[in-house]
Amino acid sequence: MTIDIMKTVEFSRRDHILKEAAGIIRTQGYAGASMRDIANAVGIEVSSLYNHIKSKHDILASICFSIGEEYIQGLDAILSNTLDCRQKIEAIISLHISLAAAHKDSMQVFEEEWKHLRDDDLSRFRSMRAYYERQLLGFFAENIQAGHLRESSPEIALYTFLSSLKWLNFYFKDNKKKNADIIRHHLVQILCDGLIKETKRTIVS
Amino acid sequence: MTIDIMKTVEFSRRDHILKEAAGIIRTQGYAGASMRDIANAVGIEVSSLYNHIKSKHDILASICFSIGEEYIQGLDAILSNTLDCRQKIEAIISLHISLAAAHKDSMQVFEEEWKHLRDDDLSRFRSMRAYYERQLLGFFAENIQAGHLRESSPEIALYTFLSSLKWLNFYFKDNKKKNADIIRHHLVQILCDGLIKETKRTIVS
DNA sequence: CCTACCGATCGGTAGG
DNA sequence: CCTACCGATCGGTAGG
């Protein structure tokens, strides 16, 4: 009982540190964010940080891996469901929207500061990202093969698709001006059907 | 004559410094890139750098503004030409491909490290980016109005379009595996006509 | 372009 | 969780 309470206190303080650190690392970059800045934001002395985190690298790794795991769990759940091609694309877009809206600071740290990870952390991070891209590349390649997606290089389609969603990570950090449902609807249309306005008839196989 | 030669020497040494600095700032981040790293890459002592650049911020500003000006000049030239909507989109995609291929290191510094600019440099940079986005937003809004582009939020279309091209900045830094023409062709198709495979008939107005 | 140097700040530790 | 502290490194300057 006492242990449980202590753990709760311990975890929430650590989470508090990670949350403040994410905001500071996002705005100042990993190398430009000092442990003094982070301690000041949390409201304790620098040396006290080390009761909750092992090192500055530990902070970065925790932020990057928690976001990475959410992406992978979300994608695995979508791809193993029985949805058609367009529904899966819509679900993946929804995943990116909801993660961007939920993790305003740490999402950008995940995107831009992972390169400061070292040794085992760096290679583990690269493995996770490679897994995510490999799963999605398989999805694109299968559906091009099956005739559901336009003939194209699966790699170019993958890179363009993933890249096209990155503005979401910046969009929500000010204040969400538009509803997430509206954004999803427009994104699905633009990415699935294209920017150019034309009449369309689906091929009946 | 003597002055011309001195200026040439001066400029090429400065350019050499900026080139090495771009590579170091890209991999280590602005705050993580030390003047000693840069001096070492150039092959001179730290103090000698200051004969060619005013400060570390001067290096960052030079890199960011030279890329920014190339984007703006390129876009202005395209939008003032007499091309139809699809041709202009194709030309803008070509602009982003050729700039990404020409400036492997400094393009990523431009994208990710501009936030370390200060005071006047920061506000000038924000103005340039706002100008680029405003010009492109006008293009999207006009062509949605005219019925050439799909009904959509011009902002969402703009963000998605610009974001979808950002993978190019990473793609060329290893070694260009695919020809730029092939990439452009696939990008135009995916962005103009969408990922989903369907027959299309253009509306005859 | 170099030698020599400076005050400030860095991540982290000892010890309580 | 704090006080006190350390060696390393930082951007930049003086002077030649």
Is the CB of B30 less than 8 angstroms away from the CB of A32?
yes
Cβ–Cβ < 8 Å for B137, B154: yes
Instruction: Give contacts of B190 with chain A, Cβ < 8 Å.
Output: 150, 152, 156-157, 160, 194
pLDDT recorded at residue A11: 67
User: Average pLDDT of chain B?
Assistant: 92
Question: Has residue B164 got a pLDDT over 50?
Answer: yes
Fold (CATH) for B56-205: Tetracycline Repressor; domain 2 (1.10.357)
A175 CB-contact burial (10 Å; exposed 0-12 / middle 13-18 / buried 19+): exposed
Q: In Å, how far is B166's CA from the nearest CA of chain A?
A: 6
Q: In this complex, is the C-beta atom of A119 within 8 Å of any C-beta atom belonging to chain B?
A: no
**Class in CATH terms, A57-205:** mainly alpha
List the nucleotides on chain D closer than 7 A to a protein CB. Answer: 1-5, 9-15
Residues 132-171 in B contacting A (C-alpha not used; CB under 8 Å): 147-153, 156-157, 159-167, 171
**Partner-chain residue, chosen from B150, B183, B199, that has the shortest CB–CB distance to A196:** B150
Is the CB of B29 less than 8 angstroms away from the CB of A116?
yes
pLDDT recorded at residue B174: 76
pLDDT recorded at residue B18: 98
Q: Facing residues of A196 across strands? A: B149
Instruction: Give contacts of B84 with chain A, Cβ < 8 Å.
Output: none
Q: What DSSP string runs through chain B?
A: -HHHHHHHHHHHHHHHHHHHHHHHHHHH-TTT--HHHHHHHHTS-HHHHTTT-S-HHHHHHHHHHHHHHHHHHHHHHHHTS---HHHHHHHHHHHHHHHHHH-HHHHHHHHHTGGG--HHHHHHHHHHHHHHHHHHHHHHHHHHHTTSB-SS-HHHHHHHHHHHTTTHHHHHHH---S-HHHHHHHHHHHHHH-SB--EEEPPP-
Query: For B3-24, what is the mean pLDDT?
Result: 78
- For the domain spanning A1-53, the CATH number is 1.10.10.60
pTM of the model: 0.92
A33 contact partners, CB below 8 Å, separation of at least 6: A21, A24, A25
Residues with CB under 7 A from strand D: A 13, 44-48, 51; B 33-37, 46-47, 50, 55-57
Parse chain A into domains and list their residue ranges: 1-53, 57-205
Tens of pLDDT along chain A (205 residues) come to 334 444 555 568 999 999 999 999 999 999 999 999 999 999 999 999 999 999 999 999 999 999 999 999 999 999 999 999 999 999 999 999 999 999 999 999 999 999 999 999 999 999 999 999 999 999 999 999 999 999 999 999 999 999 999 999 999 987 767 899 999 999 999 999 999 987 444 444 3
pLDDT recorded at residue B147: 96
Question: Has residue B5 got a pLDDT over 80?
Answer: no
pLDDT recorded at residue A204: 40
pLDDT recorded at residue B4: 45
pLDDT recorded at residue B71: 98
Q: What DSSP string runs through chain A?
A: -HHHHHHHHHHHHHHHHHHHHHHHHHHH-TTT--HHHHHHHHTS-HHHHTTT-S-HHHHHHHHHHHHHHHHHHHHHHHHTS---HHHHHHHHHHHHHHHHHH-HHHHHHHHHTGGG--HHHHHHHHHHHHHHHHHHHHHHHHHHHTTSB-SS-HHHHHHHHHHHTTTHHHHTTS---S-HHHHHHHHHHHHHH-SB--EEE----
Question: pLDDT digit string (tens) for B102-156?
Answer: 999 999 999 999 999 999 999 999 999 999 999 999 999 999 999 999 999 999 9
Task: Find which of B113, B176, B190 to mutate to test the A interface (most A CBs within 10 Å of its CB).
Answer: B190
Question: Has residue B76 got a pLDDT over 60?
Answer: yes
Is the CB of A197 less than 8 angstroms away from the CB of B148?
yes
